[in-house]
Each structure stands twice: as structure tokens, then as C-alpha cells.
Amino acid sequence: MASNTQMEINVGYQGEGENLFAIADAQLKRGYDALKLDDNLRTILSQPKNEIIIHFPVKMPSGEVKLFKGYRVQHNNALGPFKGGIRYHQDVHLDELKALSAWMTWKSALVGIPYGGAKGGIKFNPRDYSQEELEAITRRFTHALGSNIGPEWDIPAPDMGTNAQMMDWMMDTYVHIHSSTEREAARRVVTGKSLTCGGSHGREAATGQGVVYCIEEWAERKRFDLDGATLAVQGFGNVGSNVARIMARKGASVVAVGDHSCYLRNDEGFNPHKLAEYAREHRQLKGYPGGKEITRDEFFEVNCDIMVPAALELQILEKEAQVLKAKVVVEAANGPTNLGGEAILLERGIDIIPDILANSGGVIVSYYEWLQNKRSESWYKEHVEEKLQRRMKRVYDRAYRRAGELKVDLRTACYALALEQIRNVYDARGVWP
Ligand code: GLU
């Protein structure tokens, strides 16, 4: 299955030697099997439609020219334009983006928005570059992508290592390389833009907010009181910090956190606002005065009710799954659990709210942003949140009920629901010519 070099696959990842696309494929197979889906659809969905790899030179502000490797993988567009984030990370590689693009297809289909799936990225560490350099890299990448993206064709958004500022640069560059009569429409070529440039209220917190809606649905069914609950959050970027902040409002406290720099513990509970401010300012958690430093192993063993991986993929493997004490793992990150880890969690009676459901709030509000741009509207934050909450509750409930009907776990039920949507379209339209 690996279509890139082994060296690329292995660099820096926790699940060394694991191929993320093979994991995505195995998860999908469980969905097929639950539905007894026909072989032709399996064949169509077995690989992405397009895999674009671009080597592009950038003239840095110093005058030096550097070569970067950028990707855009377009998985499927049966339900609507390709949609998904752009990731800046030194370990970005093709099979990772193939898996992430497939997850976007299932995510959009599951939550009922008219999009397909895509994912892109640039293989470099954005922390090593200044704002000026990041702007040059982002603009040159957008220019190189050219008409491979488009407001009705493929719509990027933020992901790990990117933010609203980068989306603004992408939008601005795209708009300038297209004809002036198309300019207004072209602005919705990316979502997750800043409010000033046509972004939506509530988009920045949307993924974290959606994670919390899922936790509430889980707690309601378990008759579990979130007031006084304890949380461990891995990754304290946009998603992790928003989960911590919103959960604090519900009376829950974060007792352990971690990021690329360190892991911290505080049995009294961290102040999520101070922690987020520190993380934003220092671009890491290391050095935060309000907690005791612990090891990564100790983090996964910590006593807590809810474990929220909100960082990179492949973090909860067999070893972590065996010692985890939480009642539920909420996959705010994409692909944080490998197959062995998942089997152990389920056997130990630890629930999993799967990524394609748990973190779907981001792309849902991206859809609302795109709709607002299309209609030249700006919705109130309350309106966006209300719509998001209603949709996520409905999808969670449908997935929960489908799991019961099919007698499968929640992840498999989510795949089954997504596949049913896509199957219906292929059944109606056929494969032609
Ligand atoms: N990168 C986010 C995700 O993985 C959001 C994608 C989007 O808004 O298109 O779901």
C-alpha cells in the first residue's frame, strides 16, 4: 500500500513503521463489511482520485532560494467539491495525506454536508520560519497549486501548523491569479479565513466546540455528570485549548496536558485560559509555572475520566491503550488510535468517540462560512453555534442508534452511515463513460 519511501513514513511518528493509509483502509473495511457493500464501490473508493505533489522554489526574504515539497490529495468528490485542511509539518508525507483526505470524505458524508474529501500540506517545520517567510511559502504554494483548487472544486482550510492568517494569504493569492470578474466568487476558495476577510464567527473554536458537544452526548447516555469531571488533553493548539476552555465552563477540569515540548500534571486542575495564553505566547507548554512536569508514559496513565488526544496521529497504540484509565477517548485529532490500540480500548470497556465524528465541528462551520460567502451574509456567533450543536447532536444520535442496529462499535457505525450516502450517489449516477 505504501506509495512513498519507508524513510518518509517513519520519521518522527509515535507509531513508527505504521502506515496511516493502511489503518484508514482497515477501518473502512469494517464499514463495508457491516453493510455488506458490493465490490465495485470498494474498488472505486480504494484510492484517492488525484494525488498532486509539487516541488516549488521560494525566494526567501534573505535572497536565498529554497525548494519545498507540497501536496494536495483529492480523495473523492461524489457528494460535492473536495474539502479539507492544509497541514504544515516536517513529517507530512503522501500516505498520511491519503489517509487524512479519505477521513475528510467520510467526515463530510457522515455529517451530511455537500463536500468530498481532500488534504494537503507542505513538508517543513513552520516554527523554524518567520511570518514574512511563512507568507512567501504560503503564497508560492497557492500559486503552484493554481487551478487545482477552486471555490466549487477543492476548498482548503486550516489544519495542523496553519491558521486564519495563512488562509487569508491563500485566498488573496488565488484571487489575484484569477480573472477580475471571478474575484468575488473566488474568495470562498478557502475557509477558516479571518473575520475581516470573510471568515465565520465561531469557526476558530468550532472543532473544540464540536468535541465538547460529543462529550455531552456521551455523558448524557452514560448518565455521567460532567460537573467535576477530569480531563487529560494532548496537544494544546487551537483544538485542545478550546476543548479545555469550554469544558471548564461545564465544571470539568484539566488535570494533565502535553504538547511537543513536555507533559504537565496538576491535580487541582489547570487554568485553561492562562495555559492557552502561555502556549500562544511561547509556542510551547514547557516552562509553564502552574504544573509538575511528567513523562509521556505518565501522561497516558494519569487518573482522569476523559482522554482527549488533540495532536498528531498514532498516539494511542497498544502500550498506551493498556494503561489508560479514562472512561472515554475522544478523538479530537485525526487518526490518534491505531488498530491494536483500539481493540484493547474496546475490550477494556473504554468508549471511543471516533475522529470523523468528534472533530467534525471544524468542517461543518467551514461549510457555514462557505455558505455565508456564497450568499454575501454574515451570521451571528449564536446562530452558528446553535446550528452546529443541532447538527452534531443529530449525527451523534444517528450514529449511536446505527451502532445498535448493526451491533458494531461507534466508529464502524459512522463509516456505515458515510458509506450509505456515497453508495446512494454512485447507485443513482453510475460509472460513466
Ligand atoms: N482540518 C480540519 C479537519 O481535519 C478542517 C477541515 C475543513 O474545515 O475543511 O477536519
pLDDT, tens digit, for every residue of 92-149? 999 999 999 999 999 999 999 999 999 999 999 999 999 999 999 999 999 999 999 9
| Greater pLDDT, 354 or 433 | 354
**Residue 117, pLDDT score:** 98
**Residue 14, pLDDT score:** 56
Q: Three cell numbers at 123? A: 513538508
| pTM of the complete model beyond 0.85 | yes
**Nearest in space to 191 (alpha carbons), one of 414, 384, 419, 417:** 384
Q: What is the mean pLDDT of residues 311-340?
A: 97
| HSE-CB of 353 using CA atoms within 13 angstroms | 32
Best residue for ligand 1 mutational test, from 207, 360, 365 (most atoms within 8 Å of Cβ): 207
Name the band, by pLDDT with cuts 50, 70 and 90, for residue 8: very low
pLDDT, tens digit, for every residue of 152-183? 999 999 999 999 999 999 999 999 999 888 88
Name every protein residue with a CB atom under 6 angstroms from any ligand 1 atom.
83-85, 157, 159, 191-192, 334, 359, 362-363, 366
CA of 381 to the centre of ligand 1 (A): 19
pLDDT for 200 beyond 60: yes
Residues of the chain with CATH 3.40.50.720: 206-358
Residues of the chain with CATH 3.40.50.10860: 49-197
Fold of 206-358: Rossmann fold (3.40.50)
**Residue 27, pLDDT score:** 96
Atom of ligand 1 nearest to the CA of 100: 4
**Nearest in space to 85 (alpha carbons), one of 124, 118, 57, 44:** 118
**Residue 369, pLDDT score:** 98
CA of 83 to the centre of ligand 1 (A): 8
**Residue 182, pLDDT score:** 83
- Just list the catalytic residues: 119
pLDDT for 6 beyond 60: no
Residue count (the chain):
433
**Residue 103, pLDDT score:** 98
Q: What is the mean pLDDT of residues 50-69?
A: 97
pLDDT for 234 beyond 70: yes
**Nearest in space to 346 (alpha carbons), one of 303, 405, 408:** 408
**Residue 38, pLDDT score:** 82
Name the band, by pLDDT with cuts 50, 70 and 90, for residue 15: low
Residues 208 and 219 sit within 8 Å (Cβ to Cβ): no
**Nearest in space to 109 (alpha carbons), one of 136, 86, 131, 82:** 82
pLDDT for 5 beyond 70: no
What is the residue with the minimal CA distance to atom 9 of ligand 1?
A: 84
> What is the average pLDDT score of the chain?
94
pLDDT for 16 beyond 70: no
pLDDT, tens digit, for every residue of 392-420? 999 999 999 999 999 999 999 999 999 99
Atom of ligand 1 nearest to the CA of 366: 8
pLDDT for 3 beyond 50: no
Which class would CATH give 49-197?
alpha beta
What is the residue with the minimal CA distance to atom 7 of ligand 1?
A: 363
CA of 157 to the centre of ligand 1 (A): 6
CA of 363 to the centre of ligand 1 (A): 5
pLDDT for 12 beyond 50: no
Rounded to whole angstroms, the Cα distance separating 325 from 304 reads 6
- The number of angstroms, rounded, from the C-alpha of 244 to the middle of its chain's C-alpha atoms is 17
